Structures are given as C-alpha cells and as structure tokens.
C-alpha cells in the first residue's frame, strides 16, 4: 500500500518502535540517494496528503504494524496520524543522506531517554539486515547473506526460457497471485479514472481519445493507477521489481487487450506470467533503483505479453522487445511523483507501436545504436546503459532535487 520506498521507511519505523518497546522521543533516518529521490515527491497514504521521509517514518512509528511489511500503514488510525503530526511539528525526526551504501538503503534509529533501537534495511524493501537495541545486536546479516537473499542467479535466463515456462507452468501454481494482481491493480486503475488524483493523466487521455481507441484505453488505465497511487491512494497494488507502478504497467494493458479481444482467461494468466517475468529479466541488468525509468521495462513486458496471448510468433515477441527498449530506453527516473503516470502512458504507447511494427515485419537492426546481434545482447546493452552509463545522471538528478529542497 503506497509507493514502495516511503513504505519501506514506514516499515523500518514500525519495526524500530516494536524493538524499542515504547514511543520514541527522537528519530534519525539515514537513506541512500535513490530512496530520498523516490520519497521526496510522492504522497504517503494515510498521511492527510503529506510527502517526505519524516512523515513516512513517523506514521510507521505511531501506527504501523511491522507484521504487515509493505502493507504496514493499513493499520494507521486518525489518532496515530495526529500523534505523527505532533511529532513532526515538534521536529522529532531528522533525515540524512547515507553515502557509500547500497542504492536501496535505510537506517532508522529511534530514541527514548537513554535507550535506542536501530533497524537497517538493505538490498530490497523488506530485507532487514540489522537490528540493534541499546548496544546489543539482535540481528546482523553478512554481505554474503544479504547477497544470497536478494540475488538469485538469473545470468543464464533468457526470453525463450520464460516463454517456455509460461507455456507449460501449471496454472494452479500461479493463479492466486496473478488473480490478486489483476483485481488489486484494476481497482486502483478504476479509482484513478473515476476520481481526481495527481495530474489526472489517465482521465486526460480518456477525455482526448475516441471511444474505440484501444491503445489510448490501455495507456489511460495504466496511467490512472499511477495517478492514484502517487497521490496517496490507500488501495493496495501488486508490485513488480519492487515497484507498484511497474506492477500496474505490466498488468493493465494486458487486461485491457484481453477484455477487448475476449481472450481465454487462462491464456491471459499465462501472458501475465510471461510479462511479469520478462519485466524482472530486464531489471536484472538495469538494477533495482537507478536513473532508468522502470515504466519502460514494464511496458515492454506488457506489450510482449499482449503479443504472446494473441498468438504472435516468437520473432514478433522478440522484435517487440527490441523496438520498445531501443526507442524509450533511457527515460530518466527523477523520483516517484505524479509525472510517473505520464511516463507510464508514454512507455505503454511506445511499446504498443513497437508491437505494431513487429507484426508488420519492422524491427531495428543489429548495429543500429544499442541494438545487438541477439535479443539477449540487446537487453543486456540497454540494462548496462541504465545501470552503469546512467550512474552519473542519477547522481546529478539527486543533487538537483536536493538543491531545490
């Protein structure tokens, strides 16, 4: 529930208060630059419209349930919000940039008198790597343990492997999580189209399109979910690659085309299986948090899932991927906020055009820019560009955002 980065901070706050065993008087939050970037501009659910690290941490502390992990703020009451606002107004929470750490890093310490409790999260949003209370270590993971938990060796995985898996996996093994993904992500998309949220990108697209424009509808439904989510809507989202926006982007175009084409339900689920895994496959090379907008990899996966469920060939699917990422790859991520919805719409439209190109036999050729001689090499090239080539871009984006703070 809510943008993943502020929710991870709230989770750390809820856990730290539970370890301390009492309401703290002071809070210190140290975060990596990418966490700061993705918290600065997004509204925290249950906060009354507030943004920022401090309110996320304080809501987690005053009313969060650490057992719910990324649904931590679902337990917050109006009384909890009142207490969080009182602590916020009193200046109880201090935030600092942590340097020389993982891209995804949170260290939250709570103090009451001479007592303290510290919780550290690293690598992924619920991965607690350290718990300390009053000088006694309760949990400490080594680098080896952290790496083994956050990284499964996907170096040999290919798009063809994922296609084969989507074809043969027992549907009952994947149905529950995919049905939940459809239901949750459709609900927040419908909320974004029904009411006013953020910059209303989804509603604007619908208002400007013709009645039977399926591309526009797919873009609008994906964008609308982000409109609501970035504006603090408390409806839950099923994520992909640690991102709710990417989860919505993977889901809604496939659901939209499946409804329009009356696709068999099991075939749609297999398409979602393929798309979710394809999005993860791309992120293996891009990394979890970077200057590369994850809407591109998710939209690419969605269009490829549409190709899969409508019976397109492996070559069409392959060329859809190439055409998408070699067009929109490199859209910058400047944090979570209302413009994410517009980037989602842009990425979905690009991916659907890429699919149309592929269906008519048009594809970018090896040697043209980052397009390589094989699909896997192209995916790797784009991912390396995002992870390594855009590293300085990421730093500059953060510096500019902090200067304007």
Determine the structural domain holding residue 34 and report its residue range: 4-150
Report the CATH number at residue 364: 1.10.4100
Q: What percent of the chain has pLDDT over 70?
A: 97
Residues 38 and 9 in one domain: yes
Produce one character per residue of 23-35: b if its CB has 16 or more CB atoms within 10 Å, e if not: ebeebbbbbbbbb
Residues 177 and 63 in one domain: no
Residues 71 and 126 in one domain: yes
Residues 126 and 195 in one domain: no
Q: Name the domain boundary from 150, 177, 201.
A: 150
User: Is the predicted pLDDT of residue 397 greater than 80, yes or no?
Assistant: yes
pLDDT band at 242 (very low <50, low <70, confident <90, very high): confident
Model confidence pLDDT, tens digit, residues 100-139: 888 899 999 999 999 999 999 998 899 999 999 999 999 9
pLDDT, position 151: 59
Residues 108 and 229 in one domain: no
pLDDT, position 290: 84
pLDDT band at 38 (very low <50, low <70, confident <90, very high): confident
pLDDT, position 399: 84
Residues 232 and 208 in one domain: yes
Residues 175 and 234 in one domain: yes
Model confidence pLDDT, tens digit, residues 304-330: 999 999 999 999 999 999 999 999 998
For residues 271-295, give the mean pLDDT.
93
pLDDT, position 211: 86
Residues 131 and 63 in one domain: yes
| Contact criterion met (CB below 8 Å) for 308 and 286 | no
Number of structural domains in the chain:
2
Q: SS3 string of the chain? A: CCCHHHHHHHHHHHHHHHHHCCCCCEEEEEECHHHHHHHCCCECCCCCCCECHHHHHHHHHHHCCHHHHHHHHHHCCHHHHHHHHHHHHCCCEEEEECCCCCCCEEEEEEEECCEEEEEEEECCCCCEEEEEECCEEEEECCHHHHHHHHCCCCCCCCHHHHHHHHHHCCHHHHHHHHHHHHHHHHHHHHHHHHCCCCCCHHHHHHHHCCCCCHHHHHHHHHHHHHHHHHCCCCCCCCCECCEHHHHHHHHHHHHHHHHHHCCCHHHHHHHHHHHHHHHHHHHHHHCCCCCECHHHHHHHHHHHHHHHHCCCCHHHHHHHHHHHHHHHCCCECCCCCCHHHHHHHHHHHHHHHHHHHHHCCCCCCCCCCCCCCCHHHHHHHHHHHHHHHCHHHHHHHHHHHHHCC
Model confidence pLDDT, tens digit, residues 355-387: 999 999 999 999 999 999 999 999 999 999 999
Q: Name the domain boundary from 126, 150, 174.
A: 150
Residues 100 and 165 in one domain: no
> Cα(103)–Cα(34) distance, rounded to whole angstroms?
6
User: Is the predicted pLDDT of residue 157 greater than 90, yes or no?
Assistant: no
pLDDT, position 146: 60
Q: Name the domain boundary from 129, 150, 171.
A: 150
User: Is the predicted pLDDT of residue 12 greater than 80, yes or no?
Assistant: yes
pLDDT, position 103: 85
| Contact criterion met (CB below 8 Å) for 379 and 300 | no
pLDDT, position 366: 96
Residues 315 and 367 in one domain: yes
Residues 260 and 116 in one domain: no
For residues 40-48, give the mean pLDDT.
91
Residues 90 and 142 in one domain: yes
User: Is the predicted pLDDT of residue 254 greater than 80, yes or no?
Assistant: yes
Model confidence pLDDT, tens digit, residues 162-210: 999 999 999 999 999 999 999 999 999 999 999 999 999 999 999 999 9
Mean pLDDT of the chain: 93
pLDDT band at 148 (very low <50, low <70, confident <90, very high): low
Give the best-scoring range by mean pLDDT among 42-46, 82-86, 149-153.
82-86
């Amino acid at each position: 529930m809510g943008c993943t980065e502020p929710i991870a901070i709230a989770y750390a706050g809820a856990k730290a208060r539970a370890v301390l065993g009492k309401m703290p008087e002071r809070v210190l939050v140290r975060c990596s630059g990418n966490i700061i970037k993705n918290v600065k501009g997004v509204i925290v659910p249950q906060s009354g419209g507030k943004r920022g690290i401090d309110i996320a941490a304080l809501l987690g502390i005053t009313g969060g349930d650490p057992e719910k992990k990324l649904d931590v703020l679902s337990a917050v009451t109006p009384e909890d919000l009142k207490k969080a606002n009182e602590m916020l107004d009193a200046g109880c929470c201090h935030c600092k940039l942590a340097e020389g750490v993982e891209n995804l890093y949170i260290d939250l310490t709570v103090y009451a008198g001479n007592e303290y409790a510290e919780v550290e999260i690293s690598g992924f949003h619920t991965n607690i790597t350290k718990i300390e209370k009053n000088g006694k270590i309760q949990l400490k993971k080594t680098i080896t343990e952290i790496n083994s938990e956050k990284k499964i060796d996907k170096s040999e995985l290919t798009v063809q492997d994922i296609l084969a898996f989507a074809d043969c996996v027992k549907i009952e093994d994947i149905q529950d999580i995919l049905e939940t993904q459809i239901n949750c992500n459709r609900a927040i998309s419908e909320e974004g189209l029904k009411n006013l949220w953020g910059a209303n990108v989804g509603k604007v697209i619908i208002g400007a399109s013709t009645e039977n424009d399926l591309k526009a509808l797919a873009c609008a439904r994906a964008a609308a979910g982000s409109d609501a989510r970035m504006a603090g809507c408390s409806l839950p989202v099923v994520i992909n690659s640690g991102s709710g926006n990417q989860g919505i982007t993977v889901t809604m175009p496939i659901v939209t085309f499946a409804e329009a084409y009356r696709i068999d339900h099991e075939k749609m689920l297999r398409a979602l299986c393929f798309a979710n895994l394809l999005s993860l496959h791309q992120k293996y090379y891009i990394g979890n948090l970077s200057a590369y907008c994850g809407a591109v990899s998710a939209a690419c996966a969605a269009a490829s899932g549409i190709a899969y469920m409508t019976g397109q060939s492996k070559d069409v699917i392959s060329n859809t991927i190439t055409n998408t990422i070699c067009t929109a790859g490199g859209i910058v991520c400047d944090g979570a906020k209302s413009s994410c919805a517009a980037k989602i719409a842009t990425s979905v439209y690009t991916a659907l055009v890429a699919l149309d190109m592929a269906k008519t036999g048009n594809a970018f050729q090896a040697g043209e820019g980052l397009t390589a001689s094989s699909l896997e090499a192209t995916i790797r090239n784009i991912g390396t560009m995002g992870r390594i080539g855009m590293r300085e871009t990421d730093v500059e984006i953060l510096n500019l955002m902090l200067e304007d703070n």
